């Protein structure tokens, strides 16, 4: 019986470890690169209404020309700070149009309780 309890504890700890994936920038799925017309990446399934958020972001882009991306994960690579990680996603995905720098990224990490807005120069001061 003791061996059975140890096995159960080991399996439970293994599942917890597997569930807490720490993403690298290259592991964050880009919806645009997958051929979709929106910019919400929710690989851990944290957001419950991705469709509604995508509709809002599409309308925002139509109304303001701002290309707004949202990335929400439980955790990310220990070797980077939240700003560096978010900026690397922003640069890799090339959020915003080249001539107008109208990109905006909201990056959220649940486990670290961190969030970052990264904006192109064309967005800065837009809503002041």
* Residue in 49, 53, 58, 41 with CA at minimum distance from that of residue 109: 41
Number of H helices, E strands in the chain: 3, 6
Give the CA radius of gyration of the chain: 18
Domains and CATH numbers, the chain: 2-119 (3.10.310.50)
Do 85 and 25 contact (CB within 8 A), yes or no?
Answer: yes
Which pLDDT belongs to residue 69?
95
Query: pLDDT tens, 26-37?
Result: 999 988 877 777
Query: Does the predicted model carry a pTM greater than 0.75?
Result: yes
Query: pLDDT tens, 45-104?
Result: 999 988 899 899 999 999 989 999 999 999 998 888 999 999 999 999 999 888 889 999
**Residue 21: HSE in the Cβ half-sphere, 13 Å Cα cutoff:** 12
């Amino acid at each position: 019986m003791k061996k059975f309890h140890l096995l159960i504890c080991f399996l439970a700890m293994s599942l917890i470890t597997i569930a807490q994936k720490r993403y690298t920038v290259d592991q964050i799925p880009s919806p645009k690169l997958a051929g979709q017309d929106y910019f919400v990446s929710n690989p851990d399934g944290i957001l419950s209404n991705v469709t509604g958020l995508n509709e809002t972001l599409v309308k925002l882009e139509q109304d303001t020309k701002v290309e707004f991306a949202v990335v929400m994960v439980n955790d990310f690579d220990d070797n980077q700070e939240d700003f560096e990680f978010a900026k690397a996603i922003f640069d890799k995905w090339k959020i915003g149009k080249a001539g107008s720098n109208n990109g905006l990224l909201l990056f959220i990490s649940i486990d670290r309780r961190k969030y970052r807005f990264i904006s192109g120069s064309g967005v800065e001061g837009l809503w002041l």
